[in-house]
Amino acid sequence: MKRHLKSLMLVILICGLSSGVLHADDRKMTAADVERMIGELSNWGRWGDDDQFGTINLITKEKRKSAAALVLKGISVSMAQTLLTAPAADSPSPFEHKMVVAPNENNAWAVDSLSVVFHGFGHSHIDSLCHLSHKGQYYNGNPISTVTMDGCKTGSVSSLGDGIFTRAVLMDIPRLKNKKWLEPGTPVYTEDLEAWEKKTGAKVGAGDAVLLRTGRWLRRAELGAWKSSEGFAGFHASTVKWLRERDVAIIGSDAGLDVYPSGVKGVGAPVHEMVLVALGMPILDTMNLEAVAEMAAELNRWEFLLTAAPLRVPHGTGSPINAVATF
C-alpha cells in the first residue's frame, strides 16, 4: 500500500508539472489547494524509499565546495536568538540553566545543567522530518506509528548529525518594502521573493538555504513580546511551489516560518505541512536575523556560507541550533 501511494504521488507530480496545474491563485488558497499541492510537489521516493535526508540530499559535495568559496572576508555572524531564560508572551517555556557544581576552595570545577522545550516561538531550533505529520503520514509515506513517546523511528534529527553546510540567501523583506519590520500577520508572497532577488542579484538555486527576515526580533525589542495568537509575519502557503521549483534544501525564518494566521481556513501551518511532509525539507525556526542582516547590508552581500550542526539526539524531532553565517 505504501509503495502504491508513493507511485501514485509521483504520477501526480509528473502530470502536474507537465500540465501546469501547479499555478494556483497565490492569494486565495483553501485546504483543498494545500492537499493538492502536497501531492503535486511531493519528493516522496525521489531519493529512495528509505531516505532520511529529504532535500538535504541537494547539498552535494560540489555544492559544499562552492559554498565554501563564498567566504571572502572571514566574518562570522550567529543567527541564533540568545536563549530566553524567563517566561514571556511568545516563550512560555523558558530555557532552564542550573548550576550543579560551583567552585570553592576545595573544588576548581564548575558544572551546569541545561533544559529546554525548544519547539515554538522562543528558541532557535531545527525541525526534523518527524516533527509534523499530515493525515497520518510523515515524509516519504512513513506512518504516524513510527513516532511514539520513545521518539522517531524515521526522520530523526540525528540523521542530520554531520551538519548543514551550504549557500544561504537572506531575504530581507522589510528592507525591500522600506520598513523596519513586517507587522504580525503579513504574508510574504513569491513576488516578494523574486523582487528581492532582482534588487540584490542573489538568486536562489538548487541546494541553497532560504532565510526570511521579517524583523520580528527588532519589533519585539522596541514594542515588547506578543502572543503567538496575535500573529507573525511569514511565508504564504503559495510560496512552497517556488521552493520546490528552485530545489531549495532548507528554509528558515525569524518567527514560525508560516504567516500566522495562515489565511487558509482549517489549516494552521500549511507551509510547515507541505515543506516537512511533502518536500522533506528541514526548517530553521525562530532564528534571529538582525545581526546578519546588518552585516549583509554593510557588505552589500546577501549570500553567504551557512553552517549549522544539530545535536545528535537519537529519535529526536529537532534540536536547539546555532546557525552561523560566514561572509
Count CB atoms within 10 A of the CB of residue 191: 12
The pLDDT score that the predictor gives to residue 27 is 76
The residue-averaged pLDDT of 99-107 equals 92
Looking at the domain 2-84+119-326, which fold is it? Glucose Oxidase; domain 1 (3.50.30)
Q: What is the pLDDT of residue 5?
A: 43
At 99, the pLDDT band (50, 70, 90 cuts) reads very high
Q: What is the pLDDT of residue 247?
A: 98
Calpha distance 162→154 (Å, rounded): 17
Where are any strands of DSSP class E within the chain? 76-78, 96-101, 111-115, 125-127, 147-148, 151-152, 164-172, 187-188, 209-213, 234-235, 250-253, 283-285, 303-308, 318-320, 324-326
Q: For residue range 271-313, what is the model confidence (pLDDT) as tens digits?
A: 999 999 999 999 999 999 999 999 999 999 999 999 999 999 9
For residue 26, the model assigns a pLDDT of: 57
C-alpha gyration radius of the chain: 20
- Average pLDDT, stretch 16-22? 38
Region 94-120 average pLDDT: 92
**Residue at 238: amino acid letter:** S
The Cα 14–Cα 18 span in angstroms is 6
Q: Where are the alpha helices (DSSP H) in the chain?
A: 2-19, 31-40, 61-68, 173-176, 190-200, 216-223, 239-246, 270-272, 290-299
Give Cβ neighbours of residue 324 (< 8 Å, ≥ 6 apart): 76, 77, 78, 79, 306, 307, 308
Average pLDDT, the chain: 91
111, pLDDT greater than 90: yes
Model pLDDT for residues 201-244, shown as the tens digit of each residue:
999 999 999 999 999 999 999 999 999 999 999 999 999 999 99
Give the whole-number percent of the chain exceeding pLDDT 90.
90
Cell numbers that stand for 12 in this block: 501526480
Residue type, 276: L
Which of 48, 275, 54, 257 lies closest to 159, judged by CA?
Answer: 54
Q: Is the pLDDT of residue 19 over 90?
A: no
Q: Which pLDDT score is estimated for 133?
A: 93
Residue-wise pLDDT tens digits, 256-273: 999 999 999 999 999 999
Phi and psi for 172 in degrees, rounded to 5?
Answer: -95, 85
* Bond from prior residue into 282 cis (ω within 30 degrees of 0): no
* Mean pLDDT, residues 73-98: 94
Report whether 262 contacts 268 (CB < 8 A). Answer: yes
Q: Give residue limits of the domains in the chain.
A: 2-84+119-326
Is 34's pLDDT higher than 90? Answer: yes
Instruction: Using the predicted structure, report yes or no on whether residue 11 has a pLDDT greater than 50.
Output: no
* pLDDT per residue as tens digits for the range 43-79: 999 999 999 999 999 999 999 999 999 999 999 999 9
pLDDT recorded at residue 284: 98
Q: Compute the distance between CA of residue 150 and CA of residue 137 in angstroms, rounded to an integer.
A: 18
